Chains A and B, each alone.
With several copies, the nearest count.
Chain A
C-alpha cells in the first residue's frame, strides 16, 4: 500500500506538536514536575496520586484530546500521528495525566459502531477524560480475558486490575464478559458500587488502581461479542501512543544526560570526553531514533489502514521498550551519585520508563508475536 508523504505528518500536526512543546516548556519543566510529584516525600508513603488537574483542564481546552475524535462527533478528526506527536511531548515532560488512557479510549470507541460510543467520543471531545479497565488480576494481555462479568441488565460485577491513572480519569472503559462474549461498558468514577483501590507503584508520575464492581450499572458501548474485536482493532494505535510517550521520555533522558556530560568535570575534563560515556550516549540516541521512526511509521500505517499495522506497531513497542530501560539505566549511571538520589529529576523518568515498558506487553512479548508474523509459526 502506498504510504502518504512524511508519514502523513503535515502542517496541522506540526503546529499542534509545536504548541504542545511550548506548553510543557512553559508549564511543566522538570523542576516543576519534581516539585509536583516528588517534593513532599513520605518514605512510608501510601498510594500517591499527585498531579495538576488545572493543567489537564488547559490541555483539554487546547483541544488535544479532541484531536483524534472524528469531526462528526465534535472532534478535530486528525490522524493518529497527531496523538503520537502529543504523546511524545507528554512523555518528554513526564506529564502526569489521563492523556494516554483518553487516547486509548478514543481509538477503542472509534471501533465501536454504536450510538453510545459516538456519544462517548463526543464527551471526550468536550473534555471528559477516560482510561481503560480491561486487564485481569494476572495481567493478561489477551483482550478476551476479564475478571468483570456483565449481567443481562447491563450491571457489572468483578474487578479490573492495573488500571492506569485511575484516580485522574473521569470515566472508565471496561471490558466485561456476558453470555455472548466480551462487551465494552462505561462507568463514571463516582458510580455507586464502584470502589477504586489504589496500588502503591514505583512510577511517581502515574497512578494505578484496582477497580471493584459490585452490581454497578454501566453504559454499553459495544455489545457482548463486539468488545474483543474493538479492543484488538485498537491495539496498534495504543501501542503507538505508548511508544511515543517512551520516545519522548527517552529523549529527555538523553538530552539531560548529555547536558550533564558537557558540564560535569572529572579528571580535569568534561565527562563527555570519555568514550565510556560518549559512546553509550550515542548508542542511546540510535535506539531512540529507531523507536521514533518505527513509531511514526506504525502510526501512519494505522492511519491508512495498512494490513501490517499490528506488525509495525509491535516493532515500535518492542524497540521502545528495550530503549526505555536502557535510557533510564544510562542516565542514572552517568549522573553518578547525584543520579541515585530522590532529589535528582532523572529518577522520575527512569521509573516512568520502567513502568511503560511493561504496559501492553514488553519487548519480549511483542518479539514473540512478531516471530510468528515474520518467520512463520513454530512447527508442532
Chain B
C-alpha cells in the first residue's frame, strides 16, 4: 500500500510520471558480477565501474540531485528527490555508489562552500564521476567528534594538514574527502575547521590510504594518513573555527534530519535466485519455511514464529512511522521520529540477522564463501555488518542520548 502519489504537488506528479517512464525503459538489469550488500562494502573496481555507470545514467535522467539549483548541477526542482527515491526503489534499481558524497558531502558543500567551488565539485559528485569520502573518525576520538587531533596549519593562502583518519569508507576510490580538523588547540569546539581535501590526486604527496579489514574479512574502508598535505584556502568550508557548525550540517543529513533529502536508489535483490533481503522479514519467514530444525520446519516452531512476527511488527512500524512524519497533525515533535530512524533500522536489521542465524541452526556456521551456506551466507554477513551501522555515525548509545535530550528535554549526559 502506498499513499505516495496521493499527496503529490503538480510538479511532483509530472516528475513522477517522467521518472517512472524512464525507469521502465532504463533499468540496468542484473550486474555481470556479484555486488556486496551495500555501497560501503564495495572494494572491487569492476563493481565500482558498473555502479558508477548506473549513477551517471540516473543523474543524466534527472533522478539525482533533483532539488539542488541548476547552477551547481542540480535539477532545480522542489521536493522531487523524495519522488525520485520512491520510484527508484519501486523499480528495484541498484544502489547509488557515491553514497557518502550524496548523503553528507553534497549538502555540506552546498550550504558552506564558495559558489565557484560548488560549481566545480557538485556535478561530478552527483554523476559519480568523482567519489567522495568523509574524514571524521580518528583512532582516539570515537563518538566524541569534538576531540579531533588532525591539525591544519595556516601557511599564507594554503593550509598544511597532518593527522590520521580511520573508518574512511570508500577512501580507496575517492577523489575528495570532507575533513573536520583542528585549527586551534585553545578551544575544543571553536578550534575546529572544515575542509574539502583531495585524496586520489594527492596520494604520495602527503596522503596515504591503507585498507582496514572488517571483522567479516571484507575490506571497503580504510585509514588515511596526512603528512604535510598542502591545500589552498578555497577548499575551506565556512569560516575558520566554524568547523563544528559545518559538521552539524553533515550529521543532520547523515541522520536524515537535514534540509536536503539524500538521493537514494535501491531495492534490487542481491541474489536473484534466493530472493534474500536482509531488510525484509518476509525473507525470514521464507527461510523458516525452508529450514529444518530437529526434524521439523523452523516455521512450525511456535516460539520462533513469535520472534519472526515481532520482526514483521517492528518493520511495519518503521514504515508507518516514516509515513506519519509526513502528517504534521499526527506528530508530537518535529525531530521525534526522524531522529529515531537510524537507531531503529540498524537494530532491527541486527536483530533480524541474529534471528536468522538461529533459524539456520548448524547451517549458520558456514561462511558466505562456502557454497553450501543457506541463503548464500548473507545473514551472517549482514549480522556482522550491522555492527558497523550501530556503531558508525554516532553509536546508537549516542543516538539515545540525543533523543532523550532534544526530544524529551532531559539533562545532557556528559
**A residues neighboring B (CB under 8 Å):** 1-7, 9, 13-14, 17, 41, 43-45, 47, 135, 138-142, 145, 161-162, 199-203, 208, 251, 254, 258, 261-262, 264, 266-270, 272-279, 281-283, 285-286, 289-294, 296-297, 301, 306, 312, 315, 318-319, 325, 329, 332-333, 336-337, 339-344, 346-347, 350, 354-355, 357-359, 361-365, 367-368, 370-371, 374-376, 378-379
Contacts and interface: CB of A to CB of B under 8 A. Distances in A.
Dominant SS among interface residues on chain B: helix
Across the A-B interface, the 7 shortest Cβ-Cβ residue pairs: A272-B410, A290-B317, A293-B320, A139-B362, A200-B370, A342-B213, A278-B404
Interface in B154-196: 166-167
| Most A Cβ at <10 Å: residue of B281, B302, B340, B361 | B361
B408 A200 contact: no
B218 interface: yes
B404 A282 contact: yes
B25 interface: no
A258 to B, nearest CB: 4
Interface string B339-350: 010011000001
B288 interface: yes
Contacts of A290: 313-314, 317-318, 321
A43 B213 contact: yes
13 contacts: A6-B327, A6-B329, A199-B365, A202-B365, A262-B411, A270-B411, A273-B413, A285-B403, A293-B324, A306-B1, A358-B357, A364-B304, A368-B302
A294 B214 contact: no
* Interface magnitude class on chain B: 35 or more
Given A3-B2, A341-B213, A341-B215, 10 more contacts: A14-B329, A139-B293, A199-B372, A201-B365, A266-B147, A273-B412, A285-B408, A315-B313, A364-B304, A374-B282
B219 interface: yes
A301 B316 CA distance: 13
Interface of B: 1-3, 5-7, 137, 142-144, 147, 166-167, 212-215, 217-219, 281-282, 285, 288-289, 292-297, 299-306, 308-310, 312-314, 316-318, 320-321, 323-324, 326-327, 329-330, 332, 336-337, 340, 343-344, 350, 354, 357-358, 360-367, 369-370, 372, 380, 387-388, 390-392, 395, 397, 400-401, 403-405, 407-414
B370 A336 contact: no
A273 B142 contact: no
Contacts of B303: 364, 367-368
B169 to A, nearest CB: 11
Given A258-B409, A337-B391, A374 B3 contact: no
